[in-house]
Amino acid sequence: MKKLLSSIFVVVLFSAFTFGSNPLPADNSFWSKVFSRLSEYQLTGQSKQLPLPYAYKDLEPTIDAKTMEIHYSKHHATYTKNMNDATANTDNSAKPLFQLFTEIENSPALVKNNAGGFYNHLLFWTILAPESGQAPKGELLRAINESFGSMDKLKEAFSNAAKKQFGSGWAWLTVDEKGKLVVSSTPNQDNPLMSTSEVRGIPILTLDVWEHAYYLNYQNRRADYVDAFWKIVNWKEVGRRYEEALVAILY
Ligand code: MN3
């Protein structure tokens, strides 16, 4: 009898652990709650481009002024307009983009591609800065060392993801459901906020590897563009995003 009771106890304990209230922390309800704590949660499918925090020429020689001008005023402007057009007068018009991303399999490709294009570029512009010799500090540096071993190892992993992404897409540094840093890449305008993404979480650093992002200056030499990118990373902003993401996930 005693043996039976203890067996039942083990089964109940196992069941509670396996089928408890939050057995899979990385599901949609988890991400919905986490995303709602982020400052960019206010963005909806009816949003405008934010002004660039620097002039087109300020990222030279890594990214030339003409590429920045076309990228921001044509490519990003078009994603923004198409997203606004695609969500106007639909259930998605007032919905936070981050909410839309957690259920993106329910959206038409037109919404997915343009909402992704709108947000990915908005994030990308903020994590770039004129060359100033910045480096990661504080909590972010600690997390990089913990997750990758060193800054050089992070650069290697991220650069490989960017160089090996087949065709158009993006490389990402993302805070996962446990608050750890992970590197990945996505095709097209997909991103780690999307429910369809293999690696999910809050992206804090990204690199656009569509040809329109580098072709005028680098032509087919994507690897040179990726290697030069590290000179213009705005580590202060990446660090701010890391700390915001960590608080959203852990509290
Ligand atoms: Mn682009």
Would you state the pLDDT for residue 26?
64
The overall longest dimension of the chain from CA atoms, in Å, is 80
User: What is the distance in A from the centroid of ligand 1 to the CA of 15?
Assistant: 47
Distance CA 157, CA 182 (A): 9
User: What is the distance in A from the centroid of ligand 1 to the CA of 199?
Assistant: 21
What HEC string does 105-122 produce?
HHCCHHHHHHHHHHHHHH
User: What is the distance in A from the centroid of ligand 1 to the CA of 120?
Assistant: 8
State CA 222 to chain mean position distance.
20
Question: Could you read off the pLDDT of 88-98 as tens digits, one per residue?
Answer: 999 889 999 99
| Tokens matching residue 68 | 């920045």
pLDDT band of 13, cuts 50, 70, 90: very low
Distance CA 34, CA 31 (A): 5
CB-neighbour burial class of residue 211 (10 A; exposed 0-12, middle 13-18, buried 19+): middle
Distance CA 114, CA 95 (A): 15
Q: Which residue has the higher pLDDT, 59 or 132?
A: 59
**Domains contained in the chain, CATH given:** 64-250 (3.55.40.20)
User: What is the distance in A from the centroid of ligand 1 to the CA of 157?
Assistant: 21
For 25, half-sphere exposure in the C-beta direction (CA atoms, 13 angstrom radius) is 9
Amino acid in position 221: R
Whether the predicted pLDDT of 12 surpasses 90: no
Whether the predicted pLDDT of 144 surpasses 50: yes
If one counts every other C-beta atom within 10 angstroms of the C-beta of residue 239, the result is: 19
| Tokens matching residue 202 | 């809050």
| Tokens matching residue 233 | 């990373």
Question: Could you read off the pLDDT of 122-137 as tens digits, one per residue?
Answer: 999 999 999 989 999 9
Distance CA 56, CA 211 (A): 18
Distance CA 56, CA 222 (A): 20
User: What is the distance in A from the centroid of ligand 1 to the CA of 192?
Assistant: 16
Give residues whose Cβ lies within 5 Å of ion ligand 1. 208, 210, 213
Residue in the block written with tokens 């002039």 = 55
Would you state the pLDDT for residue 18?
41
From the list 21, 18, 34, 40, the residue with the least C-alpha distance to 177 is 34
pTM: 0.89
Would you state the pLDDT for residue 15?
41
Amino acid in position 5: L
User: What is the distance in A from the centroid of ligand 1 to the CA of 5?
Assistant: 62
| Tokens matching residue 228 | 């030069």
